[in-house]
Structure 1
Amino acid sequence: MADFSNMNRRKFINRSVLALAGTTLFGCFNRNRFKFEKNQVVGCFGDSITFAQGNGYVEMLQEKFNEERPELNLKFINLGKNSETVTGLTEKDHPGPRPYLFERLDQALDNNDIDVALFCYGMNDGIYGKPSETLFNSFKIGVYSFLEKMRQRDIKTILITPPPLALAIAPRKDPEATSFGYKNPYPKYDEEVLKEFTRIILEMQHPYANARINIRDVLYGQDPCYDKDPIHPNKAGQRLIADTIFSKLAF
């Protein structure tokens, strides 16, 4: 169950931010196609799907660009963190509060001089529970707030959708559980929460949302891309994520 009372972790985001986001989320911005420039540094923000123990799509992207577009001389930095969210929420059965991106974002940006940001959140942000407007607004605010940080530092941003939750591959541990969390997700978490998060990402309008890439649809129903874990794509899934991102950006 979501702990929406833990508002002190998000106290810097107040009602005025939500009001501002509401006026601009679906505004009209130029959707210019994103294009890398030579010698850019790309910071990749996300949860454990991005971190992947340093052996996932971020590292695969580095290899692909080195091999197929060496003239760009890009550097990818993995800034993913296990269990992290942009909503600041934590389910009751999680071992301690989930890391919250905005508690480390300024320091990460101070320590890493990046030109482009990749953003891939959502899997943990609904904390595996039921959908609600409060939840969706929290995710919208998180995405929008990240984009505003990037605007402040003039960092172009590539938004990536969350992947699907593959419960068909690895069902819930306790099918009768009524309290939801990462061990026992709400049975319709993928179609009722992650699908909406995907829509939010793909429809987010902001001058620093310079590209949007849908990895959910690419991975959806791809059984070989998951093993016993419904949350984290396996090596084949990570490769498919990297190939999808590369195909959209390597021109």
Structure 2
Amino acid sequence: MTKWIILVQRTLVILLLGLTACSHHKTPNFQGPSHSISNNTKGLTKETERIVFIGDSITYSGEFVAYIEAYLRVAYPERDYQFINIGLPSETVSGLSEVGHAGGAFPRPDAKERLQRSLDELKPDLVFSCYGINDGIYLPFAQSRFAAYQNGQQNLHNTVLATGASLIHLTPPDYDKKHEQQYSQVMDTYSNWLISQTNQQGWQVIDLHFPMQQQLTRERKVNPNFYYAKDGIHPNSAGHWQMAKAVLAGLGEPMARTFSETIDRLEPKVDAETLYKLVKQQQSILKDTYLTEIGHTRPRMKVGLPLKQAHEKVKQIEREIQAVLQP
């Protein structure tokens, strides 16, 4: 019995030493959760109508947002969802910008600068926020930059909830470690912190980062040259589908391997690619219009159509969408 007690005591000491060592590691390289669903994520309610996506250039690119809307239009034809994407290239939630960004032409926009105006103008029921990939400024981990990211996320969270809207945070997409191992670990750390806020503060969080990273690892076992982002940052269409897939799974929706296969499981049977292209076209028109209407500090952006003209074009496209949805 005495030997058994000594063995247990030694085991506990080893475990405690291991935990202490981990707590002092500044850039934890966690594997992350194996799923994308936060226990606190309520999903879309019947009352949800206007859904706004905010974020950086990956959100502005918008393929994953269009995949999500296209799926929901088929899955819930009785609901009147209105999607608005106002992602802004180069933006950070931390307010940070590296020296010489864009060749010294302009600093990165700070999400806080336009956030309240965007909420006042758009009056969303639900906001999806996707920041992080720019917030480490593509440098090795630094506590000061991490703290700025945490503070920026907290400010965004409080500002959105103060309007009465719901908020779902999305972890940043995977940064391909083939391009830079250290920065990939920085994004792991940022993502793990955001996920941890589900338990610490009751935030709604859906993880895109680790599911995308894990799928990339699986794909490279078959094809070592496979990639989702040629530059390590901006996902291609396959990468955007992995993002959309993680969001929809996080909302409790059943997913298949591809977008077309996922849509084919639903009724009625529709032309998935045509629907996606039309939805993407609608979103692109509204995106540039609302970015221009609300205002921002980033130069070199496309000027959107006047609001009335944009809505007229959107209505025209909507007739085509309805023809696809009601074959």
Q: TM-score, normalised by structure 1?
A: 0.74
1:130 matched residue in structure 2: 140
Report what 2:43 is aligned to.
35
Aligned partner of 1:92 in structure 2 is: 99
2:190 is equivalent to residue 190 of structure 1 = no
Q: CA RMSD in A?
A: 1.8
**Secondary structure in 2 aligned to 1:90?**
coil
CA distance in 2, matches of 1:215, 1:33: 14
> How far 1:91 moved relative to its partner?
1.1
Structure with higher Rg: it is 2
Shift of 1:227: 4.5
Q: Which runs of 5+ in 2 are unaligned?
A: 1-38, 221-225, 254-327
Measure how far apart 1:190 and its partner are: 0.9
Distance in 2 between residues matched to 1:141 and 1:227, nearest whole Å: 28
Structure 1 CA distance for aligned equivalents of residues 124 and 79 of structure 2:
15
Letter in 2 for 1:115: D
What amino acid does structure 2 have at the position aligned with 1:248?
G
AA of the residue aligned to 1:249? L
What SS does structure 1 have at the residue aligned with 2:42?
coil
TM-score by length of 2: 0.58
The 3 A distance-change label for structure 1 pair 88 and 229 is: same
Q: Paired residue for 2:201, among 198, 203, 206?
A: 206
Matching of residue 220 in structure 1 with residue 213 in structure 2: yes
* Aligned mates of 2:206, 2:243 — CA distance in 1: 10
Deviation digits for residues 65-109 of structure 1, max 9, x if unmatched?
001122333222101100100111111231220011010111111
Higher helix content, 1 or 2: 2
Aligned to 1:12: none
Structure 1: segments with no counterpart, 5+ residues: 1-30, 172-185
Partner secondary structure for residue 78 of structure 2? helix
Deviations 1:143-185 (A, max 9, x none): 10011101211111111101121142xx3xxxxxxxxxxxxxx
Contact 1:51 1:81 in 2 (8 A): yes
CA contact (8 A) 1:35 1:249 kept: yes
Percent sequence identity over matched residues? 30
Kindly provide the amino acid, as one letter, of the partner of residue 196 in structure 2: E
1:77 alignment partner, one of 81, 84, 93: 84
**Which residue of 100, 122, 127 corresponds with 1:117?**
127
Taking the aligned partners of 1:227 and 1:144, their CA distance within structure 2 comes to: 29
| Whole-angstrom CA distance in 2 between matches of 1:239 and 1:36 | 20
For 2:201, the aligned partner's letter is H
Provide the secondary structure at the position in 2 that maps to 1:188: helix
Rounded to whole Å, the distance in 1 between the matches of 2:143 and 2:211 is 27
Contact 1:219 1:225 in 2 (8 A): no
Moved more, 80-89 or 69-78: 69-78
Secondary structure of the residue that 1:110 maps to in structure 2? helix
